[in-house]
Chains A and B, each alone.
Chain A
Amino acid sequence: MGLYAGLLLDSIVSGVLVGGFYAAMAVGISIAFGMLGISNIAHPALILLGSFIAYVLNSRFGWDPILVGVLATVPFYFLGALLYTAYEFAFERRGTQLIRGLAFFFGLLFITEVGLQLIFGVDYRLVEAPYIGPSYNIGPVSLPVRMLIPFLASVLLLIGLQLFFTRTFTGRAIMAVAQDKFALQLMGAAPVRIKRIAFGISTATASLAGAFLIILQPVEPSMGRDYIGRIFAICVLGGIGSLPGTFIAAVIVGVAESITATFYGPSWSPAIAFGFLLIALVVRPAGLFGRA
């Protein structure tokens, strides 16, 4: 195998691995934006909050970052439920959610980011775990364990959520509220309560994604901003509200970025997701798997 082909194969594999992790970041937005119509642009900042919780508990008590991510889903769920209650009360009820709701989440993004900056400074922080160092090599392809674990955990998370949304009553009710709020009311379910649960779940995924992020690479508070374009590009590309679509779009973006980084230099990869976003918005706003 030539050097070039080996390099290409390696970058595709690492793109797939990173893409799986992007799916974990994007799934929260896919639920909030796609199913509930809430454009929570503070989601990337909440992911960073999750990373820093994992950092603190790891560096103080030596806890495993993924375990912290799983445990933190509980407080994150309640944080999300609380946020939705405030959002519903202040904006949805008044019908001013578009402009002021966006500004609300933007303010939240800003408060979280500056708050983390005041506490932790602008230095990069990282966690310690036995699986962060080693790496498997298969021919020219290297499989770092710190990328494999977030990938596998993300796949599990997405499968779990997909089963929840298609097999359980609450999950189906969430899918239904996305389609027709009034029909759901007629069936005897309370849309606000259903949406509160869904937004709680959406926020809970941020704590997991945050833990995966800090396993993958060192983090600093303002990093979430770089992910906003990427996450929304994945959601739009995958088709708003479709979890399998989100996963496939995340892998596509991951591979495209990885190939760009390998052959043109990593400083160009932030522009890739934006390119995808614009193309998706112009060519097919419903996304690859969306309802047109």
Chain B
Amino acid sequence: MSNGRFILLACLVGVALVGASTFVTNEYYVFAAYFVLQYVVLATAWNILGGYVGYVNFGTTAFLAIGLYSAAALNKWLDLPIPVLIPIAGVLCGAVGLAMGYLTIRLRGVYFTIATLALSVVVQTFITNWDYVGGSRGIYIMRPSEIPVFGTYVAYLFFLMTVLAVAAVVTARVIERSTFGFGLAAIRDDETAAAASGVPVLRLKLIAAAISGALMGMAGAPLPFYLTYVEPTSSFSLAYTVNSVAMPLVGGTTSWLGPVIGAVLLGTMQQAMTVLISSSVNLLVVGVLLVIFVIAAPNGILGLIRSIRGKKPDPETNPLAAMLVAEKRSSQ
């Protein structure tokens, strides 16, 4: 499928989602769907660096919180609307991703991982000490009860998150099928060999880190309006980090579809379990699923499906195979 047709299809799915949500009378379901879509964005964003390049980011919480708090602060200061806050959060978090990458990514991947894990502790320290956004006491966000065109504010937030999810998935898929994406896959498979074959390793990794961080920050920008009250402890819940790692790994990390499958599956399961049992139990389940999947099904659900079908690597879904096919064609 060409990029153009994929984008059209993704937009149609988005329109259908928003359209369907207007028929839902119980607002709780719209909230639950928002939660799942937020994880589609986070899992897809994580996968651009984690799945395509093989650099594991354990700092999703930090990026999400930077997006969240920059939106909360700018809303308090200038009363900016969310569609303006989202790109600002994106630029900020893209810059943080770039800086983080620049400082650590040149070393072995593990150092990047540890630095991102420590980053969330530092961001939390700064926000806890930042009085303008309430410090450790937290901050209330006023939102209008009604908004033109959309009616309720929840419908408006759901629309924005759908747009973000469509944009994230389209970005991931376009990257996957581009020379940029093939370069990333080459780095993942063998960094030294990639560098030797002329792939600009450092530059590609940094761009991937920036895009990944920016998408995570954008997912965080509408969150204060969704929660209406934010404070550091719950904003820095490790749940965001563990979910955004577990979802792509459970779904499958080599293609854009894996994180979407993982996010929809685990996200829906968590919403159901939070209502039926408790939120700490569902996080325990996510942890267990993560461990089981990395041991027993290293290529996730997509990998399981492929092995059941007994398919060989297919150029459509495997960037490396596609690169080899392209090379063969050009040399003939």
List the interface of chain A (C-beta within 8 A of B): 33, 39, 41, 86, 90-91, 94, 96, 98-104, 106-108, 110-111, 113-115, 117-118, 222, 225-226, 228-229, 232-233, 236, 267-268, 270-271, 273-274, 277-278, 281-282, 285
Contacts and interface: CB of A to CB of B under 8 A. Distances in A.
Interface in B241-269: 242, 245-246, 249, 253
Question: Is chain A's binding surface mostly helix, strand, loop or mixed?
Answer: helix
A270 B122 contact: yes
B58 A106 contact: yes
Contacts, number: 124
A107 B298 contact: no
Contacts of A222: 238
Contacts of A233: 118
A114 B285 CA distance: 10
Interface of B: 50, 54, 56, 58, 103-104, 107, 109-111, 113-115, 117-119, 121-122, 124-126, 128-129, 238, 242, 245-246, 249, 253, 280-281, 283-284, 286-288, 290-291, 294-295, 298
B110 A103 contact: no
A103 B245 contact: yes
A180 B144 CA distance: 65
22 contacts: A41-B58, A94-B298, A98-B54, A99-B50, A99-B56, A99-B253, A100-B294, A103-B246, A106-B58, A117-B280, A232-B114, A232-B118, A236-B114, A267-B125, A270-B124, A271-B121, A273-B118, A274-B119, A274-B122, A277-B114, A277-B118, A278-B103
A33 B113 CA distance: 13
B284 to A, nearest CB: 4
Contacts of B245: 103, 106
Which has the most chain B C-beta neighbours within 10 Å: A33, A39, A91, A99? Answer: A99
A111 B284 contact: yes
A86 B295 contact: yes
A224 B253 CA distance: 28
A111 B291 contact: yes
Given A98-B110, A114-B283, A281-B111, A274 B288 contact: no
A251 B168 CA distance: 45
A268 B125 contact: yes
Chain B interface secondary structure, helix, strand, loop or mixed?
A: helix
Top 4 A-B residue pairs of the complex, sorted by shortest distance between their CB atoms = A229-B118, A110-B287, A107-B290, A107-B291
Contacts of B288: 107, 111
A282 B140 CA distance: 39
B56 A102 contact: yes
Nearest to B126: A271
B236 to A, nearest CB: 9
A104 B121 contact: no
A225 B294 contact: no
Contact of B121 (A41, A99, A274, A281): A274
B122 A229 contact: yes
A107 B294 contact: yes
A281 B238 contact: no
Nearest to B289: A107
